[in-house]
Each structure stands twice: as C-alpha cells, then as structure tokens.
A and B are shown apart, each in its own frame.
Chain A
C-alpha cells in the first residue's frame, strides 16, 4: 500500500471517529428523511371522508339562497362580474365558472410534483442544508486538529505538508460528495416512488431531471465541505472560518448590493445557478421606450439569467482559489 493511500485511510478513520462528525452525518441523513416524510404527508390525496364532507358542503351551497341570488345577479348584470359577452350561453357558462362551488373550494390539496419540488420546492432547500452541514463538517474536522495541536504531531510522522493537506481534503470532499450524492439520489427516488404510487407524473425524464439536480447539488455540497476545510487550514480556527463563511452566505448579497456590485456576483445566486441549472436575477437598466415611461435618467428592473456554466465557473473559481491559498499557506507557515 502506498504512503498516500495509507494517509487517506488514516484521515478517513480520523474523520469517522470524531463525535462531532458523527452527529453531523446523522443530521445529514435525518434532514432528507424528515423533508421527504413532510412532503409525502403534505401532498397526500384527501381521504374519502374529507371528499364526502366537501361534496356535502358543495351541495349545501348550491342549495343556498345566496348562491341563487348571485347567479341571478350575474346573469342580469354580467358586466358587474367582468363578463363582456352578450351571448346568453357564454354568459351562463362564465357565471357558472365564477360562482359554482367545487369540491376543491372546500378541499385544499397540494399535489406532489417532482418538477416543482426540484426547481422551487424542497430540492434546493435540501441542498442548502446539506451544504451547510458538510461545510461545518469540513471545518470542525481540521479545526479540531488545530485546537488540540495534533497537526504538529501528524507532521512528525508525515512531514510532506502538501500530502497531508491533500489527504485531508480528499477525505472531506469525497465523503461529502458520496454522502450527499447518495442522500439526494435516495430522496428523489423515494419521492418518485411516492408520485408513481399516486399515479402522478414520475419516472423517465422527470426523474432524470431530479437526479441531475441531485448530482449538481452533491457537487455544491462537496465544494462547501472543501471550502470549510480549506479556510480552516488557512485560518487555523473553526470559529473564525464559520464566522466568515456564514457571514458571506447570509449578508454577502446585501453587502454587494450596498457596494453597487451586480447581483451577478452574489455567491448565493451563483450557487443557486449551479444547483437549479440556471437562475434569474435583476439589474437596474435604462427603461425601454416601449414601456412608455419617460423618466429623465430613470431605471427599470431588467431580468437576466445566470447560466449553470457561469455559476459553476464563479463557484469553482472561489473554492479553487481558497483551496490554493490554503495549501500554499499551510506549506509555508510554521506550525505551532
């Protein structure tokens, strides 16, 4: 077994034997399970009793004097109900459409849609939570080494610092990538099975889209873990790293806006573009004449799209630069 493979094994063992890491791993498994259960329960079809109750309420409303009066008013004065037509049949149809109660009016029900879950539902939220957990994992893994001073002890057994950095980075990034890949895939396969059991659109292209989104998400989670690790090797402090990372994540966009920097460079937007295969953002631009707005020097909000490639390039450059700075600094600086 080569020295580097031995080092990888040691770092993997060091990672999985850390209690804080185990807690984070359990959390990472629990989050998609809880979210999946919540989505399944929130979108479950209404029970027979609920349907019967809704039908009873619809029947009651149809029999009510209020409904009869409203239908009469609509037929007599359709313009008050926004109906322009003069055709009696059309007026009747639109009045029915507007006023006739339906079961859905009494039975609120959200249907499971894999497509909307992946683009605007729990999919992005799950990736963000996993990314935060793995970022903390990368940070605490090496922060613990610095806090205990055991880094210097490790270097007395393997003085090639780039190798030590590399082994730790591979273990942290690889663990985050594999774990999040498995969890996100399991999440989408699980929801797909639920959708299939309810005869909703599932499988095929829908599932492939979700799994691709999971793959992109796993990449973002792994990058977050690497970023947490690299910055902790740079700052040699868990607290400092977490403070900076959460600061960037939470107020980075606000600071950029205050400084007048385009939203194009917002870290959160770029990350979203990677996960969701593109994201929209808004910039101030001169109002186009066709809008009929004539404000001297005035600006309108213009929608723009940030592609996956642009987001990946931005995120990759930021993480890569952090990693490069970290490894160079670790190679050069004295170790306490």
Chain B
C-alpha cells in the first residue's frame, strides 16, 4: 500500500492549438502528496498547469504521457474504484442553474447512494441551510463556492482536491473556508489546495508543491521550503549603543528604518541564535522591546522561484 495519496510520474499534457500547433500545459511533472491528513498547497502562477493536472487526476482530461496514482491505484484506469474517496472542486462551481442547491446535492448524493441525511449534514457544514431551496442561479459566488464544497463532503472523502476554493469570497467567507479546510486536514483528510493566495496557503498548508510552466519547481514541507531563520529584528531603546555592543560581540549587524519612520531605526542581526542576542544585550544593560525571527515568507519564496522559471523559459 502506497503512503502517497497522489502520485504522478513524468506527467505531460499537450493541447493542440487552433492553428494546428501544440501547447504543452504540463511537462514531466512528478507530484507526490503524502497520506495521513494535512493540507498540501499546490501553487503556481496562472497558466502554470495546476488545473490541468487536477483535471487529469480526476479523469476529466487525458494525459499525453506519464502515470498517475490515487491511493496507490493507477488512474484513470482504476478511478471508479477510488472516486468515492475523492472530493473535488475544479475551477468554478458547476451545477444546474435552475435547480435548487439542495436538489443539485440530492442528485449527486443519489448517484453514489449516500444516505438521505448526508445532504443535510453537508449543507449545515457550509452553512447554506437557509437558502438550500433557492435556485442555484440566485446564489452569490460565495454561496456557490460553499455549495461546491458541500458537494465534496457528500462522499466523506479521504482526499479533497480544491482548486481556488476561496475565489469570489468575502474576507469572512475566506476565513470560514480556511477554517473548514484546516479542520478537515486536522481530522485526517488530505487536502490538495490549489490557490493563488499565498498568505492563505501559508496559514493552512503543512506542505506544498510549486509549479511553473507545467514543471515542478519545488516540493516539500512548508517549513523546509522556506528554510530556517537566519536573522532577527531587534528593537531597543538605544539602537546605536546596541549596535556597538552586538558588533563587539562578533555579530553581524545592519540598521534598517523602523516601522514608524527613520527616526526609530531597527537592528537586523544575522544569527539564528536568539538567546545569544538577549545575552549580549542584557549583559550591557540594554533591554529588548522586541525580538522577531526573520524568515522568508511563501510569497517571497514563490516569486523568486517563478521569476527564475520565467526568466529561464524566456531565454
């Protein structure tokens, strides 16, 4: 039994263009999402091949080359045997516009033979209970997204694939969905979350895969991708003296303008060792107001990777 819920090897997808040419959407993509719950971010700029990869995994598109496995089973050959364990929202929600939200869910629920109460549970989870008998076309974009997530919950999935699930949601809606996703991840569901909103991904994802131009750029645990802390920001009452003391102690120090303005400079100390900073400054009678570890955020890391990929592709 594989310990990966999603595994692709050498995955490639080509599209024919109108003029008879060829466009490669995904090339030689090796994707591995471990089992055991948690949220795995799937990141990439627009047109990088995220949705195409997801569509191939779900049997909606045929790969040109390569192999795919879900729960260790080769897909699309064995997809019918594992589809009941996979919930997915691909791109925008797609339901019959003149049916109510409830009827749309009921049809999907009946198709898999889910118990009657499952629809009520799913609607309650996404808080659509009050509008479930309204026509789908009367829903706001946020309600449509919530209905799509409710549809995925009908299966009680072990793997949830969400493609831009917070598109069109207001901040409160984004937060609700984020909490739902985090809760599902903590409850043992493995979530593959494709999103542009890197701050959101960083908040909920334990691991991530970054692709660009259909190619794998980086993959692993988020902490590992971002690396360890290599510097600290220090705020003290007497920054000039603090600089001198820290330099005397052999630490590398730079001064940057503070948040309120240049009249309140902050000190950046290049070390992973926070204890050493407090020891040196305390020994000199300088008491810290703030000591913050400086780490690259996902956005910086992502942009650095995708910019490099774009430059490489342009050459």
Interface residues of A (CB under 8 A from B): 1, 3, 6-7, 9-10, 13-14, 17-19, 144-145, 148-150, 152-160, 332, 334-335
Contact with A along B55-84 (1 / 0, CB 8 A): 100111110000000000000100110010
17 A–B contacts, CB within 8 A, in A order: A6-B113, A7-B111, A10-B111, A13-B107, A145-B96, A148-B97, A153-B95, A154-B108, A155-B58, A155-B59, A156-B86, A157-B108, A159-B58, A159-B83, A332-B62, A334-B61, A335-B60
- How far is A6 from B111 in the complex, measured between Cα atoms in Å? 6
Q: How far is the CB of A149 from chain B (nearest CB, A)?
A: 4
Q: What chain B residues lie within 8 Å of A6 (beta carbons)?
A: 110-113
Residues of B within 8 A of A (CB): 55, 58-62, 76, 79-80, 83, 86, 88, 90, 92, 94-99, 103-104, 107-108, 110-113, 151, 155
- Other contacts beyond A6-B113, A156-B90: 19, CB < 8 A: A9-B110, A18-B98, A150-B104, A152-B60, A154-B108, A154-B111, A155-B58, A156-B88, A157-B83, A157-B111, A158-B111, A158-B112, A159-B58, A159-B80, A160-B80, A332-B62, A334-B60, A334-B61, A334-B62
CB nearest to A151 among chain B residues: B94
B94 in contact with A153 (CB, 8 Å): yes
Residues of B close to A160: CB separation below 8 A: 80
Q: Which residues of chain B come closer than 8 Å to A155, judged between CB atoms?
A: 58-60
**What's the Cα separation between A148 and B148 when bound, in Å?**
14
**Interchain pairs with CB closer than 8 A, number:** 72
Q: A144 CA to B59 CA in the complex, in Å?
A: 21
Q: Which listed residue, A153, A157, A335, touches B61 by the CB 8 Å rule?
A: A335
Tell whether, in the assembled complex, residue B60 and residue A148 are in contact, meaning their CB atoms are under 8 Å apart: no
Q: Is the CB of B107 within 8 A of A10?
A: yes
State whether B96 touches A14 (Cβ < 8 A). Answer: yes
Pick the contact of B95: A7, A17, A150, A332 (CB < 8 A): A150
Residues of B near A156 (CB, < 8 A) are 58, 60, 83, 86, 88, 90
When the two chains form their complex, are residues A148 and B95 in contact, meaning their CB atoms are under 8 A apart?
A: yes
The residues of A that contact B113 with a CB separation of less than 8 Å are 1, 3, 6
B110's partner among A13, A150, A334 (CB-CB below 8 A) is: A13
Give chain A residues whose Cβ lies under 8 Å from the Cβ of B61.
334-335
Which residues does chain B contribute within 8 Å of A10, judged by CB atoms?
107, 110-111
Residues of B within 8 A of A1 (CB): 113
Q: Do A334 and B80 touch (CB < 8 A)?
A: no
Q: How far is the CA of A195 from the CA of B111 in the complex (A)?
A: 49
B111 touches A159 (CB 8 A): no
What is the minimal beta-carbon distance from A170 to any residue of chain B, in angstroms? 15
Q: How far is the CA of A160 from the CA of B81 in the complex (A)?
A: 10
CB <8 Å contact, A157 and B112: yes
A333 to B183, CA, bound (A): 36
**Are the CB atoms of A153 and B55 closer together than 8 Å?**
no
- Chain B residues with Cβ below 8 Å from A150 are 94-96, 104
**Looking at the complex, which one of B76, B83, B94, B111 makes contact with A152 (CB distance below 8 Å)?**
B94
Determine the distance from Cα of A148 to Cα of B270 in the docked complex, in whole angstroms: 56
Residue from A6, A144, A157 having most chain B Cβ neighbours under 10 A: A157
